[in-house]
Structure 1
Amino acid sequence: MAGRRRWSTDEILDTATELLSTSDAESFSVRKLAAALGTDSSSLYRHFRDKTELLRAIADRILLAAMDGYCPEGDWKQRITAVALRLRDAFGRQPQLAAIWGRYASSGTGSRLVMEEVLQALRTSGLPDEEIPARYHRIAILLASLIASEAGISTITPQEYEQGMELFRVAVLGADPERFPALAHFARDVRPLGADRRAAFEEIIAAHLDYVETATP
């Protein structure tokens, strides 16, 4: 009788990523992954201790892909911006995985590459060494939040998008000018959250890095 096939770590992660492309971390389970591979959960636990470790490995693959071929160019702000845009684009291609990165911090090679480059860039900014870890932490939180927020919008269906736009128009254009005078005044210029996301992303990153620059001696 033929033995059960042994799946490699990469094959397991490939299948897990495919499953997560149509679901989320909450509904994902090792049991579902095992069923998709035609095996049992115990065989997967030889590769990953639990679901959280598996999700962290999946998130790290996105970080690895984002940093593939990266070469530092420009000043420290340009380098951090380039990394930020690479992460945005990488998770933009697999938006269901963006929330996983924000929730399940990775400790793999991809995570180390991102951390190393941001820390190296900050070291060239003129900041004292004792301030750099805290500045890095704020940048990481900002990136994870922006990317997860954008990914959440990109996964909605066309029907959900149209429904949201209609609700937005009702909330803004239908605002009572006596109760909401500022909203009524700017109603025709206020834009929904889904509009012009890339420009907003770059502007927010630039503003934060400008703020960091003010702290340099």
Structure 2
Amino acid sequence: MIERVVPEPQRRRRRPTKQGTMLSERIIVETALRLIGRHGAEALTVRRLGAALGADPSALYRYYRNTDDLLLAIADELIGRAQHGWQPTGDWRADLCEAGLRIHASYQAHPQAALLAAHRTTGRDNEMRAVETILGVLRSAGFGDRDAVRIYHAFVDQALAFAALDAAALALPTAAQAADLEVWQARYGRLDTSTHPNIAATARLLAADMRHSGYPFALDLLLDAVEVRLAGAGAEAG
């Protein structure tokens, strides 16, 4: 795509596509997610999207300036899906745990898109709502603004980093995923205690644990540290 966006009042397509669909930002984003899921990053082109939508590719300029603009919309959609149906309960730890797991799950549901989008800052409605909500959870818990921002930063970066890491593994061909997991048994599981005593002692546990994401436990560790910091702040204030 090139920079050639149509003014907002003129965006809506007046005729349905060849498939009988009225174009909208949501339809375009959902179609792009499906294409990326099937074909990877190379699917994010005007030609492929136009063909999938049954529309002239130039019609997409009514909605997005270029493919990067569309990618930001995709990233914001994943953030929005993570928040769908979720409301803070007032229990800051439970709320952050739920938010983190939802972010991670949303990206894992679309691993190919996650590889393209997890590191982007969208500046769009869903992202701004997420930032506002998480900061609100932290400030309501009793953190000062500086600590709230720093904890927010660490919390979100941890969730997105694990999302991207786990998405990269999920995006591998099935055979490659299986081969990577087999290494823990075929290689690490056979190391001798005389040369690798620590690995040998924990090989069975390693093989089992590496089949799952490390994010839930890492999230617990982070929240443990946040809880200690909150208790320390309360003691200083008292």
The residue that corresponds to 2:51 in the other structure is 35
The structure-2 alpha-carbon separation of the partners of 1:108 and 1:77, relative to structure 1 and needing over 3 Å to count, comes to same
Give a deviation string over 1:125-168, Cα, whole Å, max 9, x none: 32221222222111111000112222233334442333223322
Aligned: 1:163 with 2:179: yes
Deviation at 1:80, TM superposition (A): 0.9
Q: Which consecutive residues of structure 1, in runs of 5 or more, have no partner in the other structure?
A: none
User: 1:208 and 1:13 mapped to 2: Cα distance?
Assistant: 33
User: 1:62 and 1:185 mapped to 2: Cα distance?
Assistant: 41
Aligned: 1:174 with 2:196: no
The residue that corresponds to 2:203 in the other structure is 187
The residue that corresponds to 2:30 in the other structure is 14
The residue that corresponds to 1:100 in the other structure is 116
Deviation at 1:74, TM superposition (A): 4.0
Count residues with an aligned counterpart. Answer: 213
The residue that corresponds to 2:132 in the other structure is 116
Greater RCO between the two (CA within 8 Å, min separation 6)?
1
| Letter of the structure 2 residue corresponding to residue 57 of structure 1 | A
User: 2:136 and 2:130 mapped to 1: Cα distance?
Assistant: 10
Give a deviation string over 1:19-68, Cα, whole Å, max 9, x none: 01113235532332223334444321221111111011012112222212
The residue that corresponds to 1:88 in the other structure is 104
User: 2:42 and 2:130 mapped to 1: Cα distance?
Assistant: 26
| Letter of the structure 1 residue corresponding to residue 106 of structure 2 | A
The structure-2 alpha-carbon separation of the partners of 1:43 and 1:194, relative to structure 1 and needing over 3 Å to count, comes to farther
User: 1:13 and 1:189 mapped to 2: Cα distance?
Assistant: 41
- SS state at 2:64 partner: coil
Could you state the TM-score of these two structures normalised by the residue count of structure 2?
0.78
| Letter of the structure 1 residue corresponding to residue 226 of structure 2 | V
User: 2:27 and 2:184 mapped to 1: Cα distance?
Assistant: 43
User: 2:210 and 2:121 mapped to 1: Cα distance?
Assistant: 26
- SS state at 1:188 partner: helix
- SS state at 1:73 partner: coil
Aligned: 1:72 with 2:88: yes
Check conservation: 1:17, 1:58, Cα contact below 8 A.
yes
CA RMSD of aligned residues (A): 2.4
Identical-pair percentage: 27
Q: Specify which of 187, 211, 218 is matched with residue 204 of structure 1.
A: 218
Check conservation: 2:184, 2:203, Cα contact below 8 A.
no
User: 1:191 and 1:131 mapped to 2: Cα distance?
Assistant: 38
- SS state at 2:40 partner: coil
Could you state the TM-score of these two structures normalised by the residue count of structure 1?
0.85
The structure-2 alpha-carbon separation of the partners of 1:94 and 1:194, relative to structure 1 and needing over 3 Å to count, comes to farther
| Letter of the structure 2 residue corresponding to residue 129 of structure 1 | D
User: 2:91 and 2:66 mapped to 1: Cα distance?
Assistant: 41
The residue that corresponds to 1:58 in the other structure is 74
